[in-house]
Amino acid sequence: MNKGSVSLPSGANLDFRGPALVMAIVNCTDDSFYPASRNDSAEKALERALKAEEAGANIIDFGGESTRPGAAYVSVEEELDRILPVIREFRKHSNLPVSVDTRKAAVAKAVLDAGADIINDISALEDDPDLGPLCAERGALIVLMHKKGIPLTMQDEPYYANVVSEVYSYLIESAAKAQKIGILPQRIIIDPGIGFGKRLEDNLDLLARLEEFSASAYPVLAGLSRKRFIGEVTGHESEDRLAGTLAANAIALFGKANILRVHDVGETVDLVKMIYAVSCRQGGNT
């Protein structure tokens, strides 16, 4: 299967044949791990989303439940209270593809009704059995991510014998299960879940061998922005991890990632443009 252009429920398209797409993180929460990304009101979240679009984002990813290590579960009602007004208002201003970071079918249904296109599920359809059939019925794109355990406890001594093969096998099996319930293969994106139940060495191995995931039939999303493993390497807190993040994202681009999920949109857009320009001169397609 070739990774090409795919239509979205809103009528927009995503094209995976050119440079990597930049997905802007818009947290509708007050407890995300990176303090500068927190938005404690719908007005602030909308402003951040519109600024991200202006800076060149290809996709806006709204989230109403923090999934940082140690985070607790949020109810459907609370999650919808945080994100639904923002998505409805954003849709009045923009036709940009909208992704929602949720693992709940009830939330997904409401945001798809409000104009969302992509469901970004950290549980790879495991947490809610109704989510997969809903995405199939509505023609939404689905991001299947690998994690070990739940956010509250996922960093409590995770272990892998071979992290790359284990995560790769899990994602391919998850994609096959998604297809069995009616999700078309071209509507599946995979994410190795760097930082979700992984040790430093696991995260580095996944990033170093990302091209093995990109060689699959599915577009690959890399979510690296300002994460703890970057701080473990550089010695910096989240506020000072921009340079480390850009370096990690450059490595992901050389590993042929199709989507970069980031906090810092303008800087990442420039990174993608520069690497793509050089890659084209080299005859590549990074």
DSSP output for 199-235: -HHHHHHHHHTHHHHHTSSS-BEEE-TT-HHHHHHH-
Q: What angle do CA 208, 286, 218 make, to 5 degrees?
A: 75
CA 9 from centre of chain: 18
Is residue 227 part of the annotated active site? The answer reads: yes
Is residue 44 part of the annotated active site? The answer reads: no
Catalytic residue among 147, 187, 228, 261: 261
> Are the C-beta atoms of 60 and 26 separated by less than 8 Å?
yes
DSSP output for 38-58: ---SHHHHHHHHHHHHHTT-S
Catalytic residue among 82, 148, 187, 227: 227
> Are the C-beta atoms of 148 and 126 separated by less than 8 Å?
no
Bridge-based pairing of strands 59-63 and 98-101 is parallel
Q: Rounded to the nearest 10 degrees, what angle do helices 105-113 and 131-138 cross at?
A: 20
Would you name the residues annotated as active-site residues?
227, 261
